[in-house]
Structure 1
Amino acid sequence: MERATPTRRWTSGPRTGRFAVFSLAVGPDGRDVMGGANDGCVYVYDRQAQRRVERVPAHEDDVNAVALADASGQLLLSGGDDAVGRAWDRRCLAEGPAVTLAGHRDGLTFLHARGDGRYVVSNSKDQSAKLWDLRRPSGPAALAAARRAVARQSWDYRWQRAPRAARKATPLPGDASLVTFRGHAVLHTLLRCRLAPPGRPALAAGSADGSVL
């Protein structure tokens, strides 16, 4: 099972001196709160006990997205600026990710699950959204290709326009996603995307131009 080991390490918090949580998910009973942070980790807090119960080194860069994959709340999803999505079984977090999803060329901004423990959609700074089946994980070649692609990125989506090449990029080797969606602009903020409930084959994505596709 592939483990995620962050390359950025700090002894007393992020190198900026500030700790940020970019995304939250709440367990089905309202007790557990999961958060993705700028130190590459996913945190789990127990609201009843008023303490942190898990700290998982999940990604090699900021964790921009966390979500729950099914109604049980046991399958946790995370996505980071390392362009990778991961699924974690909360009953055995220390064993590493249960599923890795690699195929984007830039950081993930959002994850949304259909709620059936199977289908997940990801939005990315590479100007695409991808539909995934958690039963079709990515292999080592896809993970290596995503790492190389991220390392070549030289623009900042917060204040620069997306390179033209980003809208015409070919699939990465080993990309196991089911469908890639293009046509929306992912700029300035962590734009969202959503899957319709089971039985309704639809996807919606926000765009930096103010439209919804």
Structure 2
Amino acid sequence: MIKKTIIGVFTLILISCSSDNSDFIGIWINKKNENEKLIIEKNGENYIVSNGEKKYPAQVKEGLLEISADLPLKATIYDKNNLIINGIEYLRFKKPKEYIIIKSKDTKAQEKFGKIFFKSLKSNDFEEFKNYFPEPPIDFYYNGEIKVSLTEKNISQIILGMEYSFREISNIVISQNLEIDEIKVDNSSYKQSDIALIVKNKKYIINFKECLEYEKKFFPEKISFKEIN
């Protein structure tokens, strides 16, 4: 164990000498174990590192991200998409390719899903939100022809991207005590079905972009949050 730690620290020093360590924010997947992920978020002038249910404060010192875990850890980045923490390598999560989206006609079901989503935001509970997703594999049809077939791996990749957006939006919703004022559903094109949540102060809008529907369950590929002019 001591030998591994020494090798890890030596590797860290070598890489940190020639790398750009400015962009730690994002989702990182363990190169040797896809089930392990880290989420690094900004927290004021410093950072929060999430590993499952555990969260650790962190700060950048001399180009290294110092994580205050049970044992102090240091992280560095090389090639912008590779994160090294004490000799363990993580890869930056990249969004999958976009899919063709199938038109949904069930406005009431979409509105219900929007309310469930907002409730999850208010409690910062992404696991509750995930319970309302359909189970893979899922085939989506348009005019009797398969347009999208999502495997478990496809869905896992999309959920990773959504979780990061969810956390950012949830922090704003909770800190400003936002509430829903109106839900708008747009089914104008079979290529996308959007659900927009407008909050009571009319300043912000939360969008599910390109939202798939399958057996009354929904699977949004994108979540956005913006201020209304």
TM-score (norm 1): 0.28
Larger Cα-atom Rg = 2
TM-score by length of 2: 0.26
